Each structure stands twice: as C-alpha cells, then as structure tokens.
C-alpha cells in the first residue's frame, strides 16, 4: 500500500502570514515542499509587471514527501485555514487536491495541474551573490509613515530613495513630470551616498512587514533593491527593479 503524502503544520499566524505575503503579489503561486522534520516550503512569485519578485520560505513541522503544488487562489486557501481552530494541522496531499479533516472542519481544496503555472525567469542564486554597495535598515513605523504620506502625494506611483547631506531620504513624487506634489521623509543618518533610485511605490506597499526592522540592500549597477524580512519560521526576500527617472 502506498503511503499517503502528509503535510503537518502548527496552526500559527506565521503560516497565514507566509500565504498572505504571496497573495499580496499574485493570486496564484507554485508551492514547493521539501521532505523532512521540519519540512521546508518555498515559493517564487512575481507581480503582474515583473518589477517585484518575492522568494518566500516557511518551516513547517514535517512532510513525508517532496513535491510541487500549483495553488490557484492563495487568499481562498488562507481563509479556509483561518477557520481551523485545532492546534496541529495535518493535510493529506493528493495529486490534484489538498484534504483536511478534524472534529469540526473538513475541506478539499483543488489544485491546478502541473505545468499550468510557471515560475519567474530569474536566477535566484545570482541575485544572492549580488555585490550590493548600499545597505541600511528600515522599520515598520517608517514604512507606515511613508504610506501615510502617500495620501498627500496622490499624483505619483513612484518613490525615490537617495541621500542628501548625510541623510537617507524617501520621496514620493514623479521627477519626470512637472507640477507634481512632493512628500519627503528623512530615514536617518547614513555613511554612504546614493543617487535617486526610483521604484514603483505599490511594490513598497506590497511588503509584508512581519517584524519591527528589516534590511534593504541596493545594487546600484543594475538598479536592484533587495529587501530581507525574517522571523524564526519565515524568510521573505523581495527583489525590486528600479524604474526610469
């Protein structure tokens, strides 16, 4: 008799946060599971305009198989998992669906067939080896302040990061257009120089800030911003491509 494929997770907000991080960027995702105790779950996903790519990792309790699953609707899966009250979650993973059953909740979530979804065409190892000349920390509060500022600077979809007089600045405006309102926030003193790097502001709003502080690294040669956010069980690596001025 063939052993059923099982995936065991602890019912915690962190797994929901992992799924939510993916759903902010795309409604569907390929989820790869690597056998072990703990097991590793990973996904590589991109925004519709390909200016934002997220590589996400999550450590679960255990899995007795290694496989790839094509998730059609991440938010739908998240909602049904949030309805579970049991402490430990044990899923049966079939060829085209995921099953769950306890004393109060039972569901079967169907998956896309293999090959229906494709991963972003990016060399993740090359990105990890990037020489980033600029690196700094940001806080959850600073991002929230920037988002509040966007209610003033409503005529732009760009945010510029740059240095001025030894201060790191974040500026909401569009330097390619005339008569655009400007909102600038100082992010603290730094010991490096950075020419204005414009990125899509939506990509900053898509960040799932799961702890109070996180690291931002910039490769100025390629105009790539890499944001690493981690907890004990979750790792999120956001790769953001800069825009033209």
Per-residue pLDDT of the chain (245 residues; tens, 9 = 90+): 567 999 999 877 889 999 999 999 999 999 999 999 999 999 999 998 889 999 999 999 999 999 999 999 999 999 999 999 998 899 999 989 999 999 999 999 999 998 899 988 888 888 878 889 999 999 999 999 999 999 998 888 899 999 999 999 999 999 988 888 999 999 999 999 999 999 999 999 999 988 889 999 999 988 999 999 999 899 999 999 998 76
Tell whether domain 131-241 is in CATH 2.80.10.50. no
| DSSP secondary structure string for all residues of 127-169 | HHT---SEEEEEEHHHHHHHHHHTTT-TT-SEEEEEEETTEEE
How far is Cα 60 from Cα 115, in angstroms, rounded to an integer?
25
> Using CA atoms, how far apart are residues 61 and 117, in angstroms rounded to an integer?
26
Alpha helices in 164-219, H assignment, sequence order: 201-205
Answer CATH for 5-114 from 1.10.3720.10, 3.10.150.10, 3.40.50.720, 3.10.310.30: 3.10.150.10
Q: Give the SS3 label for residue 58.
A: strand
Taking each helix axis as running N to C, give the angle between helix 74-82 and helix 13-23, from 0 to 180 degrees, rounded to the nearest 10.
160
Give the distance from CA 101 to its chain's centroid: 29
pLDDT digit string, tens, across residues 156-180: 889 999 999 999 999 999 998 888 8
State whether residue 111 is helix, strand or coil.
coil
DSSP 8-state code for residue 67: E
Assign 83 to helix, strand or coil: coil
CATH 3.10.150.10 residue ranges of the chain are: 5-114, 131-241
CA distances from 14 to 9, 19, 60, 69, 232 (A): 11, 9, 10, 20, 9
């Amino acid at each position: 008799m063939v052993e059923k494929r099982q995936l065991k997770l602890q019912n915690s907000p962190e797994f929901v946060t992992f799924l939510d991080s993916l759903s902010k960027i795309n409604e569907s995702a390929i989820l790869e599971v690597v056998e072990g105790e703990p097991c590793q779950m990973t996904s590589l996903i991109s925004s519709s305009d390909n200016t934002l790519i997220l590589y996400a990792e999550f450590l679960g309790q255990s899995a007795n198989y290694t496989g790839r699953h094509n998730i059609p609707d991440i938010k739908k899966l998240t909602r049904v998992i949030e309805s579970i009250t049991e402490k430990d979650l044990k899923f049966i993973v079939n060829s085209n669906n995921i099953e769950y059953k306890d004393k109060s909740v039972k569901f079967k979530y169907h998956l896309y067939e293999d090959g229906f979804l494709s991963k972003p065409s990016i060399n993740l190892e090359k990105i990890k080896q990037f020489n980033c000349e600029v690196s700094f920390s940001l806080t959850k509060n600073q991002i929230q302040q920037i988002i509040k500022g966007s209610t003033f600077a409503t005529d732009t979809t760009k945010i510029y990061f740059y240095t001025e007089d030894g201060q790191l600045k974040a500026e909401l405006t569009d330097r390619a257009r005339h008569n655009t309102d400007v909102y600038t926030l100082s992010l603290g003193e730094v010991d490096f120089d950075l020419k204005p790097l414009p990125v899509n502001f939506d990509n900053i709003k898509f960040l799932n800030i799961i702890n109070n502080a996180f690291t931002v690294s910039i490769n100025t040669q390629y105009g790539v911003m890499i944001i690493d956010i981690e907890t004990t069980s979750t790792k999120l690596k956001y790769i953001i491509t800069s825009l033209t001025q």
